Structure 1
Amino acid sequence: MGVMAGLRDRDRRLARRAIASGPGWVRQLAPAVEEAAEHTKLWWGVAGIMVAASGLRGRTAAAAGVAAMATAEVLSNCVAKRLYRRRRPPPEWVPPDDLRDRPDSSSFPSGHAAAAFGFAAAAAPVWPAAGAVCGAAALMVAAQRVHGGAHYPSDVAAGGVIGLAGAALVRAAPYLLRRYVL
């Protein structure tokens, strides 16, 4: 078996195990996390709280988080998903209640994870305490996407990397604009 085939096999086994059982806390929190993460509602809500709670620091963290989330969503959903099509985990692995909310788009990469990690990674340097809370929420979103049968672990990992790249692009934007545009 080649390296890539071995990685795909391991990814499938991890997904099947996580969907079938997974940690108890994920099963209990999954419905609320899934609902909050749909259409980036969680991150827009967090941005609103940041703006209301902490003046300039909150506004700056919220703006960075939203910009990184948007960048990550474009990179994930408009670029990566079109370059690489992947089927989602087989429906027979997924409990019937979780199947009704399963998207039809490519499984790779996870747009939810990209948005979550992008927001958290961009907000953290501006407001570390809020960034830590957002990071914990991003991990819960990532766990739920695998546990709910929407993604393989590698889809979520790739989404996380795209989110981190989105945050890095947002942090580099002022420098890049000064250097190459202005």
Structure 2
Amino acid sequence: MNVEAELCRVERSSLRRVAGWRPEWVRRFVPVVEEAAERTKVWWGAALAMTALGGARGARAALSGLTAMAMSEVASNAVVKPLWNRRRPPKELIPHDDVHGRPDSASFPSGHTAAAVGFTGAVAAVWPTAGAACVLPAAAVAVQRVHSGAHYPSDVAAGAAIGGLGAWAVHRLPRLLRRLIL
């Protein structure tokens, strides 16, 4: 058995399954998620709400989230995408007509997912309740990226891993640097 061919078959099948999920509420919800995720609006809005409602803890959580989001986006979009340069999924794999407006950039990894997971993970480390509130929007962004045909499932998984590393780095690197310097 050719492992690479089998992985490709499973990924394409998963993409078709997620993109083909078309209940009425999904058709209404997906464009809302897509719009909120564009230019990281949802995460800037969440940061603003945390700052306004959470006092000093909210401000620290917002700053951590925005920093991890930025680090994750840079790692995803400026470092990994140019190295990998994977094409977007072909339109014929997407069983609906909502495939317009996909980015021209490389598909691997998902920068939207990296930003979502980075923000959510970093917030959760400072303010677990606010982080928990960010989990559902972050998951919705990840699913929307596959559903819209903008990404393969592995692109989203890689974006989530990069976001997780971004969240980790925001909280661990300053401590490591202090140990090295002192």
TM-score bin, normalised by smaller chain:
over 0.9
Aligned residues: 181
CA–CA distance in 2 between the matches of 1:169 and 1:22?
37
Q: Which consecutive unaligned segments of at least 5 residues does structure 2 have?
A: none
- Secondary structure in 2 matching 1:124: helix
Q: Does 1:88 align with 2:53?
A: no
Q: Is 1:159 the counterpart of 2:159 in the alignment?
A: yes
In the alignment, the residues of structure 2 paired with residue 166 and residue 39 of structure 1 have an alpha-carbon distance, to the nearest angstrom, of 18
Answer yes or no: is 1:55 the counterpart of 2:55. Answer: yes
Q: Secondary structure, in 3 states, of the residue corresponding to 2:170? A: helix
* Shift, 1:127, TM fit: 1.0
**Divergent runs of 4+, >4 A:** 22-25
Q: 2:167 & 2:2 partners in 1: Cα distance?
A: 34
Q: Give the match for residue 110 of structure 2.
A: 110
Deviation of residue 135 (structure 1)? 1.1
Residue 52 of structure 1 aligns with an amino acid whose one-letter code is A
Quote the offset at 1:136 in angstroms. Answer: 1.1
Q: Which deviates the most, 149-158 or 24-33?
A: 24-33
Task: Determine the C-alpha separation between the residues in 2 that align with 1:11 and 1:74.
Answer: 26
1:72 aligns with 2:72: yes
CA distance in 2, matches of 1:132, 1:181: 34
Whether 1:138 and 2:138 are equivalent positions in the alignment is yes
Aligned residue number for residue 16 of structure 2: 16
Q: CA offsets per residue over residues 86-138 of structure 1, 9 Å max, x none?
A: 11111233433x33321011110000000000000000021111101111110
The amino acid of 2:10's aligned partner reads R
Deviation of 1:17 after TM superposition, in Å, equals: 1.7
Residue equivalent to 2:119: 119
| 1:120–1:138 Cα contact (<8 Å) kept | yes
Once the two structures are superposed, residues 23-67 of structure 1 have per-residue CA deviations (whole angstroms, 9 ceiling, x without a partner) of: 665433100000000011110111011000010110010000001
Change (3 A) 1:87 1:148: same
The one-letter amino acid paired with 1:146 is V
Checking the alignment, whether the CA contact within 8 Å between 1:20 and 1:93 is kept in structure 2 is: no
Other-structure match for 1:30? 30
Structure 1 portions without partners, runs of 5+: none
Q: Is the 8 A contact 1:26 1:147 kept in 2?
A: no
In percent, how many aligned pairs have the same letter? 56
Q: Is the 8 A contact 2:12 2:93 kept in 1?
A: no
Q: Is the 8 A contact 1:72 1:163 kept in 2?
A: yes
